[in-house]
Structure 1
Amino acid sequence: MTKKILFTFLLFLTTIAFSQNILLSEKAKVSILTCGLGPESYAMYGHTGIRIQDQLQHIDVVYNYGAFDFSTPNFIGRFIKGDLQYFVTYGSFIDFYYNYQAENREIIEQELNLTPLQINSLYQQLNYAVYSDERFYTYKFIDRNCTTMVVDKINKIIGQEFIKSDQTNLSYREILYPYMSDFYMKLGIQLIFGAKVDEPATRLFLPYEFKNALSKTQVNGNNLEKSNSKILQVNQAKIPFNWLNSIYSLLLVVVILVLLNKKWIKISHFIFAGVLGLFFSLVGLYSLHEEILWNYNILLFNPLLLIFAWYYKKENHQKTLLLGKIILAMLLVYLAYMTTKIHLQIVWPFIVLHFYWIGKIVLQIKRSKQSTSF
């Protein structure tokens, strides 16, 4: 057993040394692989890989900057905090292909118009990254992921930032929005995102946006894309509309809550909304993810609703009235700010519900005060 382990270790070291020192032939090719979307949360935006082929050297490998380890201690906590370590891996193209074929996800290949010197330099840099401390990087949703790492690598090889976003007229939120097909997942993600995702999308951070940018990129008057082909075509079954996972089910719940018109239901909702707002506030302070900082959605899911619910339950009319007016004023500010935001179309039921319930409570207290003054 010990001999087998020693042999495997020596073979591993030999492979490292060989892969880092080998020079590719002039027939070598570099391609960007764009992989299709998957149902899992980590695959819902697709994936980017780098393929290097050299038939003369019998090399056909894919480098992947999107690897992570589920067995990392406190995985969820570190992901939320924003210090989870991702790493680069590499493996044979055929294994990569079969993996995506099994997941029923397409692969689009774009061969790059690079010189043999640039291809060799990229190959050496990628191998160095795999077998050095450069292997690990701290994942950031927009600024550092499997796509941005590849974008930066290719721009470094060609010597200038030729590959860049051409959608700066859109915000990151507007680019992300169409990718989210699951309504309640979309709602949750849109609510936890803060002000950063409303900034102009100057960073290429999604695989398909990168693919489209590559097709338009020119380097010194020449197209960077040499060829473009779909090397794995899949037939994805059309997902039937599910009203339970749509805005219609949310509207139905809101209508039922309003029709029931029970005080305990209102209090329960205000507590839920307040706790959610408190979570948005605290996670923004705890996390290193810039995407969830300065979350203005706390104007809708307002932590003050917790205090409002308490005074409303205790029938402290004076303080309920004061807090109600403050929360309504914040809701007006939120609504005015949201008129230019794409996710207004999925959060408006909560806006309407809060305006209706809190406004009604405020008016009832005012009327009761007026009637007792006569």
Structure 2
Amino acid sequence: MFKKLLPLFCFFLLNTTLYAQYIPISEDSEISILTVGPGEALYDKFGHSAFRVKDNTLGYDIVYNYGTYDFETPNFYTKFAQGKLLYELSFYNYEQFLASYKRQNRWIKEQVLELSLSDKEAVFNFLQNNAKDENKAYKYDFFFDNCATRMRDVLKEVLGDRLQYNDSFVEEQYTFRELIQKNVHCNSWGSLGMDVATGAVTDRDATAWQYQFLPNYVYQAATTATLDANGKTQPLVKETNFLFKNNPVTHRSNYLLSPLFIFSVISIWVLWITFRDLKRETRSRFLDAGLLFITGVVGIILALLWFATDHSATANNYNLLWAFPFSILVTAAIAKRNPKAWVSRYIIFLLLLFLLLTIHWITGVQEFAIGLLPLFMALAIRYIYVVYYLKRKTSLVVSRK
């Protein structure tokens, strides 16, 4: 009777006392790293990682998940935008975890770790303590502190120098931007959004240790990691299991809805108006005002992401070279039929910024969204025409005097 009640008792303690009491773990227990494949939504494209603690003797099977947050958090969306939203370590029954990702048709791999009983106790105790109300929250960072990096960090914290990661799983050198772009199509709106929002900090080469911000590389790093056990070096991973094999779905992207096509159409429209203006010896003032207004608004958003948030990935963003925030202040001036001379000088300044953008792109300081290339060309040509038109008009006025 006692053996039948013990699993219920342990799980009751796990869910009601928040680890105020010691929860035992037996010799037959297993601690695993779970790796989940990519999902449909953009935030699921990179996969997921979690710990699993399974004890058949004591009858519990728990998943510890560092990738959760509380939707009831006051000012949730503001904190999310500012990079101040706290993520949490949550725990629940493995069957819930499995069922959830089965519904999403996402594969799940398990790496059972080769740990002694004392090591399993140490890892389990760390997770129990970390799941307490006062410890469960942490400040999420996409590159440096997320659900994937926590797998690596927890094991390193508990096992210390006995656990050794090596670089052998890294076959090619990639930047942070290249690593995240491997998970999304380059000509997609998600890819474009990330390229515009993230700065030059993401164009640094990532080390093998830093690769583990992505779950797939946590999986690969664990495969090659070693653990010192009483002076004997052994693989960290004892066995690997495929817990759920998904049914691959082929997604066909619609090029007519892609950023490259949409911005190509917009760019052709801008160039057509510019050509028409050239033929008529006129200037479409409201087009120029609209371009400066839109690029100015984008620039303000990017500047706020850089200077007014805690997002590490949005710093040093040279997309500000084409989306310059102060352009919004020039909107009214350029919409006038006869703008003042300084407006022409400001447009020349914008062309110089485009030159800097080109240099940054060629030298690898920062990569820019390929979908924006037609827009860059159209803006540069339009700015050149505006400078030409305004200077020509000024010359005509002077000659008449």
Answering whether residue 266 of structure 2 is matched by residue 258 of structure 1, we say no
Match 2:341 to one of 318, 333, 339: 318
1:163 and 1:209 map into 2 onto residues whose CA distance is 12
| Aligned residue in 2 for 1:350 | 375
Answering whether residue 335 of structure 2 is matched by residue 280 of structure 1, we say no
| Aligned residue in 1 for 2:81 | 80
Match 2:175 to one of 161, 171, 174: 171
The CA deviation at 1:163 is: 3.5
The CA deviation at 1:156 is: 1.6
Answering whether residue 353 of structure 2 is matched by residue 330 of structure 1, we say yes
- For each residue in 1:205-238, what CA deviation from the matched residue of structure 2 results, as whole angstroms up to 9, or x when unmatched? 1111211222222335432222223211111321
Report 1:175-190 matches (<5 A): 175-181=179-185, 183-190=188-195
The CA deviation at 1:325 is: 1.3
The CA deviation at 1:188 is: 1.6
Aligned-partner SS, 1:53: strand
1:14 and 1:199 map into 2 onto residues whose CA distance is 43
The question of whether the paired residues in 1 share the 8 Å contact of 2:49 and 2:148 is answered with yes
The CA deviation at 1:360 is: 1.4
2:160 and 2:50 map into 1 onto residues whose CA distance is 20
2:244 and 2:143 map into 1 onto residues whose CA distance is 27
Q: What TM-score, normalized to structure 2?
A: 0.84
Report 1:1-374 matches (<5 A): 15-16=16-17, 20-160=21-161, 162-163=164-165, 169-181=173-185, 183-202=188-207, 203=210, 204-220=212-228, 221-243=233-255, 244-261=257-274, 262-314=284-336, 315-339=338-362, 340=364, 341-371=366-396
2:384 and 2:245 map into 1 onto residues whose CA distance is 54
For 1:230, the aligned partner's letter is F
The question of whether the paired residues in 1 share the 8 Å contact of 2:69 and 2:86 is answered with yes
Aligned-partner SS, 1:99: helix
The question of whether the paired residues in 2 share the 8 Å contact of 1:28 and 1:54 is answered with yes
- For each residue in 1:41-69, what CA deviation from the matched residue of structure 2 results, as whole angstroms up to 9, or x when unmatched? 43221111101112111121111011111
| Aligned residue in 1 for 2:7 | none
- For each residue in 1:233-272, what CA deviation from the matched residue of structure 2 results, as whole angstroms up to 9, or x when unmatched? 1113211121213412221222123224443223212210
2:386 and 2:378 map into 1 onto residues whose CA distance is 12
Aligned-pair Cα RMSD in Å: 2.5
The CA deviation at 1:346 is: 2.9
The CA deviation at 1:132 is: 4.3
Task: Classify 1:187/1:53 alpha carbon distance in 2 versus 1 (closer, same or farther; 3 Å).
Answer: same
For 2:252, the aligned partner's letter is P
Aligned-partner SS, 2:246: coil
Query: Which of the pair is proportionally richer in helix?
Result: 1
Aligned-partner SS, 2:213: coil
- For each residue in 1:168-191, what CA deviation from the matched residue of structure 2 results, as whole angstroms up to 9, or x when unmatched? 932211111122347122212211
1:108 and 1:200 map into 2 onto residues whose CA distance is 28
For 2:194, the aligned partner's letter is I
2:75 and 2:204 map into 1 onto residues whose CA distance is 31
The question of whether the paired residues in 1 share the 8 Å contact of 2:18 and 2:133 is answered with no
The CA deviation at 1:372 is: 5.1
The CA deviation at 1:83 is: 1.6
2:268 and 2:240 map into 1 onto residues whose CA distance is 50
For 1:318, the aligned partner's letter is A
1:311 and 1:171 map into 2 onto residues whose CA distance is 41
1:194 and 1:213 map into 2 onto residues whose CA distance is 27
Aligned-partner SS, 2:148: helix
Task: Classify 1:342/1:209 alpha carbon distance in 2 versus 1 (closer, same or farther; 3 Å).
Answer: farther
The CA deviation at 1:326 is: 1.1
Moved more, 14-23 or 190-199: 14-23
The CA deviation at 1:19 is: 8.5
- For each residue in 1:100-143, what CA deviation from the matched residue of structure 2 results, as whole angstroms up to 9, or x when unmatched? 10111111111122222111110111111112411111112222
1:342 and 1:195 map into 2 onto residues whose CA distance is 8
The question of whether the paired residues in 2 share the 8 Å contact of 1:155 and 1:163 is answered with no
2:311 and 2:361 map into 1 onto residues whose CA distance is 22
Identity of aligned residues (%): 24
2:96 and 2:391 map into 1 onto residues whose CA distance is 70
Number of residue equivalences: 366
Give unmatched runs, 5+ long, in structure 1: 1-10
